[in-house]
Copies of this chain bind each other. A is one copy, B any other.
Amino acid sequence: MKNPERSTKNKARTRAGGANAPTTAPTRTPVRKAKSREPLSRERIETAALALIEELGLDAFSTRKLGESLGCEAMSIYHHFPSKAHILDALVDRVIASMVIPDTRLSPTQRLRELAHAWRRTAHRHPNFYAWLSLHRWNSETGVRFLSQILACFHDAGLAPERAARGFRVLGYYILGATLDEISGYARGPSSLQPLTQDALVRDYPLVAQASEFFMPEHFDKTFELGLSALLHQLGLPDEPPTPASAQ
């Protein structure tokens, strides 16, 4: 929004020209570098990028605006990342790494539930970045480590390799679709096609009108849980582990 300053140049001029600068400071070197002038680093760039994406949306996010928010020229970023796409890739890794890995003493089913919820929480925490995140390479070390936790649950529950592999995939499909659907909400876009008035809905699609109550965000938790339980149950992950043979 607005168009805050105009970046470094203006700020520098203001600082130099301002009358209330500390008297000891020589004209060219202010006492302490402004916060925005601590040296650029991948870390700092990533943090600013993620914040900016959530503030503006992924489409409006640009390297030039990122530079502005960092207090540097956009081109300085290229000294730390070879391209914008590399920044986004780094963010994927960082966000995946932030997901909590559950306690290994829990049952496979319990761990699976926790992993599913950690994944979903990530989607809700970074709604604007999530569409990119979810559809791009989880095949870095970090991504594989997370996914392997999910796969391991299927193995630990005693499933044969093929059933475990397919169950893992099916569960992943479900979580991916649920999170994306919850976040996008089928709501964007300008459209000349008018989006069916409530009246027309009630008249022509009474079943949909009746059901739409349950499509509201208040129902997301329960619906997600319903599908998750259905899948876990049917994929061979019972809620109570079948009395472990060698229990304490």
Interface residues of A (CB under 8 A from B): 82-83, 85-86, 88-90, 92-93, 131, 134-145, 147-148, 151-152, 155, 161-162, 164-166, 168-170, 172-178, 180-181, 184, 186-196, 200-201, 205, 207-208, 210-211, 213-215, 219, 222-224, 226-227, 230-231, 233-235
What number of copies of this chain does the assembly contain?
2
CA distance A169 to B145 in the complex (A): 30
Kindly state the separation between the CA atoms of A161 and B177 in the bound complex, as whole angstroms. 22
- Given the known A-B contacts A178-B177, A226-B166, are A195 and B140 also in contact in the complex, defined by CB atoms under 8 Å? yes
Contact B226 A189 (CB under 8 A): no
Q: Are A205 and B144 in contact (CB under 8 A)?
A: yes
A194, closest chain B residue (CB): B140
Q: Are B230 and A193 closer than 8 Å at their CB atoms? A: no
Minimum distance in angstroms from A223 CB to a CB of chain B: 5
